[in-house]
Chains A and B, each alone.
Chain A
Amino acid sequence: MVVGGAHPNEPAGFIAAVVLIENLSVQRGRVIVLPRANASAFTATEPQEAFPGSFEIINRAGNPRTFRVGSRFSNILDGWPDPIIYRHYPSSQLLSGAETRNLNRAYPGRADGTMTEQVAYAIAEVVRREGVSLLCDMHEAAPEYPVINAIVGHERALDVAALAMVDLQAAGLDFRLEPSPPNFHGLVHRELGDYTNARVMLFESAGALQGRIRGVTDADLILRSQDPFYIRAAEVGKLQVPFPREGIPLEVRVGRHLQAIETVCKVLGELDPSSVVEFSRVPDYNELQTHGVGFYLQ
């Protein structure tokens, strides 16, 4: 199962999911793709962040295709009012009130909870009822964030993630391997790892859109992730990842996600032959750099 759009302000995640849907040909096993995991969060951007409402990609036919940009949180109109303190169910972990609308703090969810908790519960139910063996949740994070260009995995997923990391490095892509913190609750890898039988992991790519020191925040920043303040921050060694002058374009961020998905699926089949998934026609990292994301969109 591939999840995009848990955080709709992280476009590489949901664009990678759309590319999968429009290109994937499955030969063995089943693939479930969820491109807009938090649909409510696609209906608004975050206040005071000056995010563009949408961006365009020229598709294979040469036509502009528009994608909405959303928020990290469900639309507040779907959950008014926020509590002052968010108490996670069932751990009772306390977080700030707005986190009550963060899907990736709401797992495993509950059927009669807030709307965001219900969405989390619904995803957990899909994983349980469909017997999902591997779940990959795709995100983006600020270049100054320590868990970046990383695979974060539940302990039952770490064997697959570790070997995938080696194979990704052989393909020229460096990923960090981060175990899911056992005491940080609500995250997809912790809770669905604990409450379902799936091996659960989360991929983080690096995007300036998520960062706190970015400058002009427009559609071009989404597409090219080229920002003078981040270039400067990289020059003085303040970032967790390389930040080249040409930026980290969408092709790179989506390409990393898709290459990681293909790789973890291969390793899963190697380690657990009962969970083999074989598919084709998904562009790999190099193909995306050559042709661009739009080439793979209808």
Chain B
Amino acid sequence: MRRLTIIILAALPVLSSPVIAADQPDSLRTYQQPALLTSCGQAADVLIIKGQCARAGISIKYRPTATADSISDVKCIIIVAGGSSKGLGAAKADASHEEERIKKLLKAAKKEGLPVIVFHTGGEARRGALSDPFNRLAAEGAELLVIAKDGDADGFFRKIADKSKARYIPISDLTGVIGVLQTLFPKPKTTTPQEGG
């Protein structure tokens, strides 16, 4: 009986959430560009996504302290979650100010029908008392979560994805980010004029 229980418990997450392997994301919807790239918590992790977007050729509007007024020229929103006291200090924000900004941004995104993607790539270092309120706030407003596995050992993000029916892509480390971005934001197909004759 105990063995059966363990098997059922182990199977539950698989049954309840649309988890997509990072190397098999064929079932993912794709997104239009440009994307607004912002932070929730002001950790430097947002710069990693910025750099990987540049490498993937994705057009972004990088606005680390974007507000509800910053979305008129974008077609989707990427939020990089994770708190940093140094980052908040540099942005001249405190935690409550940052949370309020993101709440308004998510509300505006919903009103405009803009999809929200959340990345959490900072791992264990971006979990805990400072980061988790930012992580939860961003993740609960997302339709897709891309999460480095070592930051979700306790299933924090998985549980949020299960509850909100958001899609969830686990990545093993930062090197997995660019492949996910390329899949989410495919390069537009160019048509080459056919040669005559």
With known contacts A158-B44, A158-B47, A159-B50, A165–B174 Cβ distance under 8 A: yes
Report B-chain residues with C-beta under 8 Å of the C-beta of A182.
Answer: 86, 89-90
- Of the candidates B50, B84, B87, B90, the one whose C-beta lies within 8 Å of that of A162 is B50
B55 cross-chain contacts in A, Cβ below 8 A: 163
B177 / chain A contacts, CB cutoff of 8 Å: 166
A162 in contact with B44 given A176-B125, A178-B86, A183-B89 (CB within 8 Å): yes
B97 nearest CB across to chain A (Å): 17
| List of B residues within 8 angstroms of A271 by Cβ | 51, 54
| Contact string against B for A residues 58-69, beta-carbon threshold 8 Å, 1 for contact and 0 otherwise | 000000000000
- B175 an interface residue at 8 Å Cβ cutoff? yes
Verify if B48 is at the interface (C-beta below 8 Å from A): yes
Q: Which single member of A155, A169, A176, A183 contacts B175 (CB below 8 Å)? A: A169
Q: Quick one: which of B54, B84, B86, B174 contacts A169, CB cutoff 8 A?
A: B174
Tell me the minimal C-beta distance from A199 to chain B in angstroms.
Answer: 13
User: Chain A: interface residue count, which band?
Assistant: 10 to 19
Is the CB of A179 closer than 8 A to any CB of chain B?
yes
Contacting residues of chain B (48-70) with chain A, CB-CB under 8 angstroms:
48, 50-52, 54-55
Q: How far is the CA of A179 from the CA of B90 in the complex (A)?
A: 9
Cβ–Cβ contact B174 & A166, under 8 A:
yes
Instruction: Say whether chain A's binding surface is mostly helix, strand, loop, or mixed.
Output: helix
Chain B residue with the shortest CB-CB distance to A167: B175
Mark interface residues in A84-104 (1 if CB within 8 Å of B CB, else 0): 000000000000000000000
- Give A54 to B115 CA distance when docked, in angstroms: 61
Interface range on chain B (Cβ under 8 Å from partner): 10 to 19
Q: Say yes or no: is A50 at the interface (Cβ < 8 Å to chain B).
A: no
Known: A165-B174, A183-B89. A178 touches B51 (CB 8 A): no
Please, which residue of chain B has its CB at the minimum distance from the CB of A183? B89
A-B contact count (CB 8 A): 49
The smallest beta-carbon distance between B90 and chain A, in angstroms, is 5
A221-243 contact mask (Cβ, 8 Å, vs B): 1 or 0: 00000000000000000000000
Q: Do the beta carbons of B175 and A179 come within 8 Å of each other?
A: no
Residues of A within 8 A of B175 (CB): 166, 169-170
> What's the least CB distance linking A255 to chain B, in Å?
20
Given A176-B125, A179-B84; A166-B89 close (CB under 8 Å) = no
Inter-chain CA distance A159–B173, complex, in Å, is 18
Contacts known (A169-B175, A183-B89); A162 close to B125, Cβ less than 8 A: no
B173 and chain A: residue at smallest CB distance = A169
Chain A residues near B173 (CB-CB < 8 A): 169
Question: Residue-by-residue, is A113-146 near B (CB-CB < 8 Å gives 1, otherwise 0)?
Answer: 0000000000000000000000000000000000
A159 to B48 Cα, complex, angstroms: 8
Interchain Cβ contacts under 8 Å between A and B, 30 examples? A155-B90, A159-B47, A159-B50, A161-B47, A162-B48, A162-B51, A163-B48, A163-B52, A163-B55, A165-B48, A166-B48, A166-B51, A166-B52, A166-B175, A166-B177, A169-B174, A169-B175, A170-B174, A170-B175, A177-B44, A177-B45, A178-B86, A179-B44, A179-B84, A179-B86, A179-B87, A179-B90, A182-B86, A183-B89, A271-B54
Given contacts A166-B48, A183-B89, 14 further A-B contacts (CB under 8 A): A155-B90, A158-B44, A158-B47, A162-B50, A163-B48, A163-B55, A169-B175, A177-B45, A177-B47, A179-B44, A179-B87, A179-B90, A182-B90, A271-B54
- Sorted nearest first, the 3 A-B pairs with minimum C-beta distance are A162-B47, A163-B51, A162-B48
